Structures are given as structure tokens and as C-alpha cells.
Amino acid sequence: MIQQGLPHAQLAPAWQLLLLGDGSPTRHLQLLTGEPTEVDVIDMSLVGMDLDGAPDLIKAVPGPRLRRQVWLRTASGQRLAYATSWWEASHVDEYLQNRSLPIWASLARLRTELYRDVQGIYYGYSDGLESGFDEEGPFWGRHYLFWHHGQPLTLIYEVFSPYLTKYLGAMQLLQQGGEKQVEGEANNLESPEASKNQEVFNFNEP
């Protein structure tokens, strides 16, 4: 499903480019809004060997691990995405020398060659995201591994704000009869501030 994409009635083509493409979301957001993409760091915590409620691919990232949570926003303050990343704690400083920068900006400065391997997409609701984005759900998200020199570098989980419909258009295309179609239902999701130990949004797969 990830390689083939989703039906356009479920997820519109422009949104599929953002969610399923292998380009930098930081760069995409900057091009969409015309503003630099900046980061508000929510938390950086050592989680050791704990699976941390993350996608199963966290096992590919060597431990002990560090979890980083951020909001991605425009320079003027509009939040566009929430992201959690998990890193091998002993090497994170090599790649995030300035932890206030977006990951893409940090790695671009180091001329780090990467492969973005999108492995899962998600659809759901979250009171915490609605509050953080100041936008009503549902929300689309994804997780992927960054590979570097044939080794997994970091696992990243991202959720995008519906505010982006301003630039990308509607999340789903209208079917005949003017109705939108989204298969399946989504769980209610916890706020990122709800728990210090469990801050990953568990969406249903579409």
C-alpha cells in the first residue's frame, strides 16, 4: 500500500506527495508556506532500551535510545507538524549538533547522504493535536526510517496539521455525488503532554 499509494478518494494526490514521498518535509513545508521552517523542541529524553510505544521499527535503531519531540512551525508561529524521532543516544550529537534546528537542516549542513524509507501511514483523532495545532482532526501521519551508509540512523514519526489544506487542498477528493470517502475509523488519541512516558499517537492504519 505504501509503494502504490492510496485511492485519491481516501487521500488526495498532493497529500500523498507529502506523506508518501521521500523528500524532506521540512523543505516541503518551507516551499509551501514561503517561510523558513523552525522547530519548537517539546522534549528530549533518554528512553534506554524501552520500546516507548513506538512503531516496531524502533527495534532497528540501536540502543540505548534518545527520544526527541518537536513542533514544526513557520517563522511566524503557525504549527504545521508534530514529530517524534528516536536516536542511538551515543551518536545523536554527531547528527544534531544544533538541536534547535530541524533534522533536515542539521543533516544538510553535514552533507549527510540519507535514504528515507516510509513504512507506515496513519489516520486518526487526538485532543492533544487539536489543541496543539488549533485545528480539528482527523489527522494524517506516517513513520519512516532514515538509512545512512546501509545502517538505520533514526526512526521518525510525523503528524501533519489540517492547516496545510490552505496550500495542498482538501485531504480527500470528492466522489460522484459530492461525498468524501475514508475507509475505516480512528481511535481517540492522547495529548503529547498527557504522559511523559507514552507520547506517541497510535493511529489506525487507513
Report pLDDT for 111.
53
- The answer to whether position 41 is within a domain reads yes
Q: Which residues fall within 8 angstroms of residue 84, CB to CB, at 6 or more apart?
A: 54, 67, 68, 69, 156, 157, 199, 200
- The answer to whether position 194 is within a domain reads no
Q: Which domain holds residue 62?
A: 13-169
Which residue, chain included where needed, has cell 503528524?
159
The domain that holds 40 is classified in CATH as: 3.40.1410.10
- What's the domain count of the chain? 1
Report pLDDT for 106.
54
CA dist 98 and 130 (Å) reads 29
- The answer to whether position 115 is within a domain reads yes
- The answer to whether position 21 is within a domain reads yes
What are the residue ranges in the chain where pLDDT is below 50?
Answer: 110, 176-206
What phi, psi does 13 have (nearest 5°)? -55, -40
What distances in angstroms separate CA 131 from CA 125, 126, 140, 157, one per listed residue? 11, 9, 16, 19
- The answer to whether position 199 is within a domain reads no
- The answer to whether position 4 is within a domain reads no
Residue 119 burial (C-beta neighbours within 10 Å; 0-12, 13-18, 19+): middle
Report pLDDT for 107.
55
SS3 label, residue 32: helix
**Beta-strand pair 115-126/188-189:** parallel
Q: What is the pLDDT of residues 112-160, one digit of tens each?
A: 556 778 998 888 888 889 999 999 999 999 999 988 778 888 899 999 9
